[in-house]
């Protein structure tokens, strides 16, 4: 078999698609959320993303419940659409050789294994850059590849705790709380996608790839921004606030209505003026409340008055009154209500796919719908595109049959029969 050339591989040409990242090939070795989400963003932007899994150590998201659709995990399907699937036993000699061939045709290799795993597989940056100097590798880990915590596993829950986020979430008289969304994993994935795009742009100038060492913890510390500034420079001691109130702007928090909750952000003085008109409460016209500094000094009494006003109104009436005055506000939706918001349909934020195995499947679109274009390609079955990808690399049918027969490569059919 002739080894394919990275720049002229027929598979590379065949796999090119439109979009901002059309022609870019990404090998996604991710699992669970952070890595796969980063790769899904790249796929939606037009990259040819090949999700590579070892059949003996598949992405655990494929088994994550409690919801399944014709045997496929909805959790997995929601995070891996727009990709092709190659199943290869990377720890075997033949499997590693296949991975090196694949790396020759790739632009990016993304993983979120613990530090050292890629080196153990012989697929770390130093090994891959020797065969493809233009390759960009990105390792997304809990705490980065250096420092005393590098070897420690990092998950959304634990990073939220260590980065200070949990200490500010929840009611003051209650325990610290985790955010309802896995924002550490998702923001880490966004950051990885951004870093990869920046590295691709840099490569256009230098002609060479690079390694990206990205820690989830790093991203979260960066997101502390003004909270970190207050702590580092003003000796601030931040604590949880009632009803998710902003630390320094009043009123900016959640208020109970007669039938639910409303979230209000009227910390700016111009919004405050409109809020007083919307609520029609003369008590709020006290000159002491005219500026945010004054309202902050009288936080308890101001919030008590506003809470009394909202308690007498329904959520719908409250939103209607404030929105008419241009006051930033929103009802506190459930996930079901959020997905039914008209803007979701108007902005094309839900996509629908059809797959021969699991049928019709709906998922949220990528974070930049205007640039996305791959949201109608559903998540692949394990090994669904193994033969297709190897043919693109230049492997002949007989060689592929041999690799499947000796267990180096698995196909979707193999996965079916092993169920």
The catalytic residues are 185
d(CA 213, CA 211): 6
CA end-to-end span of the chain:
33
Q: Would you mind telling me the total number of residues written for the chain in this entry? A: 419
* Of residues 145, 158, 152, the one with CA closest to residue 184: 158
Long-range Cβ contacts of 156-164 (<8 Å, 24+ apart): 156/33, 156/182, 156/183, 156/184, 156/185, 156/216, 159/184, 159/216, 159/217, 159/220, 160/184, 160/220, 162/217, 163/217, 163/220, 163/221, 163/224, 164/224, 164/227
Q: What is the DSSP letter of 57?
A: B
Query: In terms of DSSP H, where are the helices of 291-334?
Result: 292-297, 299-311, 315-324
Q: Which one, of 251, 268, 242, lies nearest residue 305 by Cα?
A: 251
Run of H or E including 138: strand 136-141
CB 249 within 8 A of CB 267: yes
**Helix, strand, coil share (%) of the chain residues, nearest 5:** 45, 15, 40
Q: What is the DSSP letter of 397?
A: H
Q: In degrees to the nearest 10, what's the CA dihedral of 50, 53, 54, 57?
A: 170
């Amino acid at each position: 078999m002739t080894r394919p050339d990275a720049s002229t591989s027929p598979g590379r040409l065949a796999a090119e698609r439109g979009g901002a990242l059309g022609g870019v090939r990404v090998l996604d070795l991710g699992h669970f959320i952070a890595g796969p989400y980063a790769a899904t963003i790249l796929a939606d932007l037009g990259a040819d993303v090949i999700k590579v899994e070892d059949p003996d150590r598949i992405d655990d998201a494929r088994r994550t419940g409690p919801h399944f659709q014709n045997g496929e995990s909805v959790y997995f399907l929601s995070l891996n659409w727009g990709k092709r699937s190659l199943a290869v036993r990377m720890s075997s000699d033949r499997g590693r050789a296949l991975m090196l061939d694949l790396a020759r045709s790739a632009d990016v290799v993304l993983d979120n294994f613990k530090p050292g795993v890629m080196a153990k597989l012989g697929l770390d940056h130093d090994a891959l850059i020797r065969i493809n100097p233009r390759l960009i590798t990105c390792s997304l880990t809990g705490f980065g590849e250096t420092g005393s915590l590098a070897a420690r596993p990092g998950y959304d829950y634990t990073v939220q705790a260590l980065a200070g986020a949990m200490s500010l979430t929840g009611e003051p008289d209650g325990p610290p709380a985790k955010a309802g969304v896995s924002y550490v994993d998702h923001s880490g994935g966004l950051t990885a996608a951004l870093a990869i795009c920046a590295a691709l742009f840099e490569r256009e100038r230098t002609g060479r790839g690079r390694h990206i060492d990205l820690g989830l913890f790093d991203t979260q510390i960066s997101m502390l921004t003004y909270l970190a500034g207050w702590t580092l420079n003003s000796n601030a001691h931040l604590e949880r606030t009632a009803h998710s109130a902003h630390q320094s702007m009043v009123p900016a928090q959640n208020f109970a209505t007669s039938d639910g909750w409303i979230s209000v952000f009227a910390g700016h003085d111009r919004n405050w003026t409109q809020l007083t008109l919307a609520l029609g409460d003369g008590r709020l016209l006290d000159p002491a409340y005219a500026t945010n500094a004054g309202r902050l000094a009288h936080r308890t009494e101001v919030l008590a008055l506003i809470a009394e006003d909202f308690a007498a109104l329904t959520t719908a009436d409250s939103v209607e009154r404030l929105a008419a005055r241009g006051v930033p506000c929103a009802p506190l939706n459930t996930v079901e209500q959020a997905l039914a918001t008209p803007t979701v349909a108007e902005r094309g934020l839900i996509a629908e796919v059809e797959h021969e195995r699991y049928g019709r499947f709906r998922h949220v679109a990528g974070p930049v719908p205007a640039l996305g274009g791959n949201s109608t390609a559903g998540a692949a079955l394990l090994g669904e595109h193994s033969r297709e990808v190897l043919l693109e690399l230049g492997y002949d049918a007989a060689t592929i049959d041999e690799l499947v027969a000796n267990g180096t490569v698995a196909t979707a059919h193999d996965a079916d029969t092993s169920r």
